[in-house]
Amino acid sequence: MAHPKRKISKTRRDKRRTHYKLSEPTLFTDPTTGETTQMHRVNLETGMYRGRKVMKGREDY
């Protein structure tokens, strides 16, 4: 296995690791219910996705 010729400093190591951050999820306001939800998710209460009924919601049971 390859070994480094010199020790990498903590500063250099930490500079490389600055990009490993979590990003905030993209949120949008649902036009039918006015609820703020994540993008590309089905509303489990109504079963609606992008203005269309795609599955049974909780209110259908």
In whole angstroms, what is the distance from residue 1 CA to residue 8 CA?
A: 17
Q: Structure pTM?
A: 0.50
Which residue matches tokens 């996705």? 49
Q: Which residue, among 25, 52, 51, 53, has the nearest Cα to 39 in the 3D structure?
A: 25
Band (8; pLDDT cuts 50, 70, 90): very high
Neighbours of 44 (CB within 10 A): 12
The confidence score (pLDDT) of residue 1 equals 77
User: pLDDT tens digits for 12-46?
Assistant: 999 888 887 778 888 988 877 788 888 888 888 88
